[in-house]
Structure 1
Amino acid sequence: MTPSEKRFALIAAGVLVVASVTGYVGTRVALRYGPTLDTYGNEVGGSFRLMDATTGTMTDQTFRGRWMMVLFGATHCADDACTPALTNMSAALDKTDPGKRKAVIIFVSLDPDRDDAERLRLYGQSISPRVVAGTAAPGPLADLAKEYHTTVEKLPDPEWTYAMRMSPRFVVMDPNARYVGTVDANLSADAMTDALKKLMNPAQ
């Protein structure tokens, strides 16, 4: 490699490092001091801004045009309730959206101290490609939980020291980000399928 090629390579590497650091810092600042949530006039649910499983940011606008099934919990979930709930919802969506293009599961971790981007990526990947996991700083998370009518609740756990309680229901938002109802997170996959058919196809 010639001296000029080495110099170019070093400059290029420096630019990449600066861009990565700037993006990371920008993401952290945006999550901590993000915009005020907007309910869009919904009784339940509305806008959100989260750090997703690829260390970027995602908002409700990212999923406009798709149905969103929103569940709050954590990878350290009380009573190990989150994994079966997400698995059953994924199975239900496979029946109501076999093309896998119309609906997505938004899993909001209430445990940002332990659920970093890589952990969330692996957790979602272990369940279904439909599961998109994200989190935020504690303050914005509390506001978001309130917007979606759930709570941030930490429970003692003998194995993990503490675990986060899963929200009792999936909040279902239509492709225009309008609230249409909820699905009990403890239902079986078949029962979730029946509930989704009524919410997503009310005329049928």
Structure 2
Amino acid sequence: MTPNEKRFALIAAGILVVASVTGYVGTRIALHHGPTLDSYGNEVGGSFRLMDSTTGTMTDQTFRGRWMMVLFGATHCAEDACTPALTSMSAALDKVDPGKRKAVIIFVSLDPDRDDAERLRLYGQSISPRVVAGTAAPGPLADLAKEYHTTVEKRPDPEWTYAMQMSPRFVVMDPETRYAGTVDATLSADAMTEALKKIMAPKD
């Protein structure tokens, strides 16, 4: 290797290190930036700020104008319940929103220690383009779960040491971020479709 080639290799390596450190620090800052929650006068649900699966920050306002189906859980989900629930909701939305422009699934991971940005990206990608996954620091997550009337609960797991309990229902927020109802997360895709048709039907 010539001196110029060595110099180029060192510069390239240095750039990679700086980029990696910057990305890590940015993720940690986003993760620990505690949101100030606003219920917007809702009985259930309201504002949120999460580190999304691209290491950026997403809020409820990111999706304003679209229906949001909000589910809490983790990639290490108790009883492997999260993947079937998200898959069924995605299939249901494909029927009520075939153009894929009106609705999105917000999956909130309650396990920030294990669910980093890359893991969340791959997890959402494995289920559906509709699934947008994010997380936050433990304190803000507990506040957010309370806002959405669910809890943060760990369950012992023989394979993973522990797993996070999935919230029992999807909380449905309308395009104006108003609480519109809930859908049982254990329903079949067809049953979710019928529930969504009622919730999302135009109001007189």
State the partner residue of 1:116.
Answer: 116
Letter in 2 for 1:124: G
Q: Tell me what 1:141 maps to.
A: 141
- Counterpart residue number, 2:79: 79
Per-residue Cα deviation, 1:35-76 (whole angstroms, up to 9, x for no partner):
311111111111111111111111111111110000000111
| Change beyond 3 A, Cα 1:177–1:203 | closer
Larger mean CA deviation between 42-51 and 29-38 belongs to 29-38
User: Counterpart of 2:105 in 1: which secondary structure?
Assistant: strand
List 4+ stretches of structure 1 deviating above 6 A: 12-17
Q: Which residue does the alignment assign to 2:68?
A: 68
Deviation at 1:32, TM superposition (A): 1.7
Which runs of 5 or more structure 2 residues have no equivalent in the other structure?
Answer: none
Which amino acid is the alignment partner of residue 79 of structure 1?
E
TM-aligned CA deviation for residue 26 of structure 1:
4.2
Structure 1 residue 118: Cα displacement = 1.0
CA contact (8 A) 2:51 2:117 kept: yes
Q: Which runs of 5 or more residues in structure 1 are unaligned?
A: none
Counterpart of 1:152 in structure 2 is 152
Distance 1:14 1:92 in 2: 48
Report the TM-score when normalising by structure 1: 0.88
Partner AA of 2:78 in structure 1: A
Give the share of equivalent positions with the same residue, in percent. 88
Q: 1:196 to 1:74 in 2, by over 3 A?
A: same
Residues 37 and 47, structure 2, Cα contact 8 Å, conserved in 1: yes
How many residues are matched? 200
TM-score, length-scaled by structure 2: 0.88
After superposition, the Cα gap between the structure-2 partners of 1:43 and 1:83, relative to the gap in structure 1 and judged at 3 Å, is: same
Counterpart of 1:166 in 2: which secondary structure?
coil
Q: Which residue of 2 aligns with 1:166?
A: 166
Secondary structure in 2 aligned to 1:129?
coil
Partner of 1:125: 125
In the aligned structure 1, how far is the partner of 2:168 from the partner of 2:128? 20
- Larger mean Cα displacement after TM superposition, 146-155 or 28-37: 28-37
**Residues 1:142 and 1:17: Cα distance change in structure 2 (over 3 Å):** same
